[in-house]
């Protein structure tokens, strides 16, 4: 089998654990592969897609490229098209196809942690991964509160309208983050707020956190975000996005190479990722 070449794109991207994770996953499956980091600014994405990324066997996309990369690929997987987000691209004989594995990673991560979506899910942020969370939870018949900053409310309301049309009127309601004070069975942070090095930032106030039965923070660096710390101190079950990160990477390897992984391997790798963070 010839050597495979993969990578991850984002901006900024220096914090990423993706090379560490994919190196382990490829090793587990005996794949001879290389995985690199590509820091690509938004205005460079189109040119880099054609000149650099298309020479790879596949790549992952993170903030801020999960939506913009959609217009560049030749084909979209059904789920990626539905969710309006791509985090994995596969090249086959010059043909590019976009997928999203974030939904798989999210569902497996909360299942492993013993967290239920419940009936009411509050999602902060309506970017690429936020839309994946919203669609995933709506498919499970959850009522959604979607929170955004004032400047993004109009686009968020349009997205909520599409959810209501697809899953039933009243499924999704939009609030300004600063105005919301409701209860949640599950509170999700789908923004970069709280990510290293801005570890003292929290996406919502203490009143919202105290009314959440469980918390999922998509941020994975630091190992315990301020949001997760506050939720745990109040007695709520809370996790960061590390296990999700590993599960969605494993799903990408399945797309690229047909690889399969067991839950024990995933759990061990997630723990090793936290240790890797401590070295940085």
Answer yes or no: 213 catalytic.
no
Q: Which residues pair with residue 188 across a beta bridge?
A: 123, 216
- Extract the tokens encoding 233: 């101190």
Assign 3-state DSSP to the chain and report helix, strand, coil percentages, each to 5: 45, 20, 35
Residue with tokens 């880099």: 48
Cα 72 from chain centroid (whole Å): 20
Q: CA 229 to CA 53: how far, in whole Å?
A: 38
Contacts of residue 127, defined as CB under 8 A and 6 or more positions apart, other chains included, come to 63, 64, 66, 67, 190, 191
On whether the CB atoms of residues 256 and 58 are closer than 8 A, the answer is yes
Catalytic residue among 66, 97, 230, 237: 66
Cα 224 from chain centroid (whole Å): 17
| Euclidean distance between the first and the last CA atom of the chain, given in angstroms as a whole number | 34
Helical ranges in 58-115 per DSSP H: 78-83, 102-112
Contacts of residue 146, defined as CB under 8 A and 6 or more positions apart, other chains included, come to 122, 123, 126, 130, 134, 156, 159, 160, 172, 173, 174, 175
Report, as residue numbers or ranges, the catalytic residues: 66
């Amino acid at each position: 089998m010839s050597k495979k070449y993969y990578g991850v794109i984002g901006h900024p991207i220096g914090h990423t654990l993706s090379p560490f994770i994919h190196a382990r996953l490829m090793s587990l499956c005996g794949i001879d592969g290389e995985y690199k980091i590509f820091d690509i600014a938004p205005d460079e994405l189109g040119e880099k897609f054609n000149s650099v990324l298309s020479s790879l066997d596949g790549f992952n996309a993170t903030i801020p490229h999960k939506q913009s990369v959609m217009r560049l690929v030749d084909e979209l997987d059904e789920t990626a098209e539905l969710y309006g987000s791509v985090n994995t691209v596969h090249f086959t004989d010059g043909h590019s196809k976009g997928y999203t594995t974030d939904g798989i990673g999210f569902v497996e991560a909360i299942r492993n942690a013993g967290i239920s979506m419940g009936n009411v899910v509050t999602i902060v942020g309506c970017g690429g991964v936020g839309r994946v969370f919203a669609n995933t939870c709506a498919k499970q018949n959850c009522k959604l509160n979607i929170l955004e900053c004032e400047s993004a409310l109009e686009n968020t309301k349009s997205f909520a309208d599409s959810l209501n049309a697809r899953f039933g009127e009243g499924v999704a309601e939009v609030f300004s983050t600063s105005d919301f004070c409701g209860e949640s069975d599950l509170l999700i942070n789908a923004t970069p707020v709280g990510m290293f090095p801005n570890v003292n930032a929290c996406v919502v106030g203490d009143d919202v956190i105290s009314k959440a039965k469980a918390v999922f923070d998509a941020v994975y660096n630091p190992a315990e975000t301020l949001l997760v710390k506050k939720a745990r101190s109040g007695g709520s079950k809370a996790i960061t996005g590390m296990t999700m990160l590993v599960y969605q990477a494993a799903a990408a390897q399945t797309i690229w190479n047909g690889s399969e992984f067991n839950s024990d391997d995933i759990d061990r790798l997630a723990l090793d990722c936290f240790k890797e963070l401590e070295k940085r």
